[in-house]
Amino acid sequence: MQEIVDQSLTEMRETFASGRTRSVKWRKTQLEAIIEMVKDNEDKMCDVLFQDLGKHSTEAFRDELGFVMRSATTALNCLDKWVVPKKSDLPLLFYPSTGKVISEPYGTVLVLSSWNFPISLSLDPMIGAISAGNTVLLKASELSPNVSAFLAKTITSYLDNKAIKVIEGGPDVATILLKHQWDKVFFTGMI
């Protein structure tokens, strides 16, 4: 597993360094792919949520799938505004200079997902990270194994495999992942 993690991190860092994920077009393509993935796989997602957690399809859509689609749609609609540099005031000492704040991606981020909302707490942090121009490694919760396996298989079919990766496993895998240097870690729940 250590070798897989090292190889994934190397590839993701190289992808980030290439500048590909900074492109607004790339970000939008990935967000659109997440929406498409949820729409295309709604029934399967409801099935795996029922298998792992006993969630009824109405609850699954309300708390997980619909939430993810709203989040991705909001990010898609706001992305152009988010990337525009914002004017910033400077101290009088620097007059007549002007300043601006330019939002920059962190780099390579890790998402450690929770078991109780395994789709929304996996994909929503990914949406934020992708919107900001980062590469993402998702470690889905082993406590919802059907969802984890589904995400590992499906995400690779829809999203950029050089920038967005999924690793399955339990606390041993999380321990390996946390021994590495990450630019940001998203974590909700228990490992």
pLDDT at position 1:
80
Query: CB under 8 Å to 33, separation ≥6 — which residues?
Result: 158, 159
Q: Which CATH superfamily is domain 2-84+105-187 in?
A: Aldehyde Dehydrogenase; Chain A, domain 1 (3.40.605.10)
Distance CA 77, CA 73 (A): 6
Q: 188 falls in which pLDDT band (50, 70, 90)? A: confident
Tokens matching residue 41: 């796989």
Q: Is the pLDDT of residue 136 over 90?
A: yes
DSSP state of 6: H
28 φ/ψ angles, rounded to the nearest 5 degrees: -65, -40
Q: Is the pLDDT of residue 191 over 70?
A: no
- Parse the chain into domains and list their residue ranges: 2-84+105-187
- Give 96-132 pLDDT, tens digit per residue: 898 999 999 999 999 999 899 999 999 999 999 999 9
Give Cα 148 to chain centroid, integer Å: 14
- Give 9-68 pLDDT, tens digit per residue: 999 999 999 999 999 999 999 999 999 999 999 999 999 999 999 999 999 999 999 999
